[in-house]
Amino acid sequence: MLPLTSCVIVKSSDPEGLKDANGKPVIRPYTPVSRSDTPGELSFLIKKYDNGLASKYIHGLKPGDKLAIKGPMPKFPYKGNPVSPAHAASSTPKTIQTTNLRKSV
């Protein structure tokens, strides 16, 4: 069970799969959007940016492809929902829901 307000660190499971212009691995934190009481499920909402190395890579994954995931990394204790519904309803184009990705160690 993933604690609320936790992120995980995501990178390519292939050492050569996702690197920046200097040849260093691209590593990004993402906050899961799956319910914490749903066993075996880890869902993300990832916006695709035209210049985003990680988001383009992740959007290009196919079923069965793998990501290396480390975590959870707790950010802060959850104390309620301070966000108003108007802010929560903002549009997020070019998103992807990836399923059946397995954790690489």
Domain CATH code at residue 13: 2.40.30
The percentage of residues in the chain with a pLDDT greater than 70, rounded to a whole number, is 66
Is residue 73 domain-resident? yes
Distance separating alpha carbons of residues 59 and 76, to the nearest angstrom: 28
> What confidence score (pLDDT) does residue 39 get?
80
Is residue 86 domain-resident? no
CA distances from 91 to 13, 24, 58 (A): 30, 32, 20
pLDDT digits (tens, 9 = 90+) for 37-50: 778 888 888 999 99
Is residue 1 domain-resident? no
Domain that holds residue 97: 6-78+91-104
Is residue 60 domain-resident? yes
In degrees rounded to 5, what are phi and psi of residue 79?
-130, 35
pTM for the full model? 0.62
> What confidence score (pLDDT) does residue 11 get?
92
Is residue 85 domain-resident? no
Average pLDDT score over the chain: 76
Is residue 84 domain-resident? no
- pLDDT-based confidence at 91, cuts 50/70/90? very low
Number of domains in the chain: 1
In degrees rounded to 5, what are phi and psi of residue 77?
-70, 140
- pLDDT-based confidence at 3, cuts 50/70/90? low
